[in-house]
């Protein structure tokens, strides 16, 4: 039960902090998303993301911080195996499934719900 509570409050805290950034600064949502992905990658480099994810579970792995961690893990593994070329290929290989799933599900949702442009 405590795993669910930790995931809820950590994920909620991340979302609340992002909401504060959106409302109190002039940062655009796209820049905030990039900031979260980069922050997840930096936390991963220092080795802090794994203990954080052990504690928070899905509260840490679902937001964009988790995507940055996934990309960094892919880069580390590919660089160990392929050298310099792995620095460029690892992130693409690690993030390909999640990115593909997001694109496919977004396309299917657009077929079902008939989206319209804002006026």
Q: What's the pLDDT tens digit per position in 4-29? A: 999 999 999 999 999 999 999 999 88
pLDDT tens track of the chain, all 119 residues?
888 999 999 999 999 999 999 999 999 888 999 999 999 999 999 999 999 999 998 888 877 888 899 999 999 999 999 988 888 888 888 889 888 988 999 999 989 997 777 67
Check residue 47 and give its pLDDT. 92
Check residue 38 and give its pLDDT. 93
SS3 101: helix
Check residue 87 and give its pLDDT. 86
CA distance 45 to 72: 7
What count of Cα atoms within 13 Å lies in the side-chain half-sphere of residue 114? Answer: 0
Find the DSSP H helices in 25-114: 29-45, 49-56, 58-61, 64-82, 84-113
CA distance 73 to 44: 8
* Cβ neighbours of residue 57 closer than 8 Å, sequence gap 6 or more: 3, 6, 7
Check residue 117 and give its pLDDT. 74
pTM beyond 0.75: the answer is yes
């Amino acid at each position: 039960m405590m795993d669910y509570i930790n995931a809820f409050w950590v994920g909620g805290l991340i979302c609340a902090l992002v909401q504060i950034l959106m409302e109190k600064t002039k940062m655009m949502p796209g820049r905030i998303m990039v900031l979260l992905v980069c922050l997840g990658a930096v936390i991963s480099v220092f080795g802090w993301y794994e203990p954080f994810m052990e504690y928070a579970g899905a509260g840490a792995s679902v937001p964009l911080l988790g995507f940055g961690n996934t990309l960094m893990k892919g880069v580390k593994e590919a660089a160990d195996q392929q050298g310099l070329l792995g620095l460029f290929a690892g992130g693409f290989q690690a993030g390909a499934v999640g990115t593909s799933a997001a694109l496919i599900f977004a396309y299917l949702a657009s077929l079902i719900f008939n989206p319209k442009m804002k006026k």
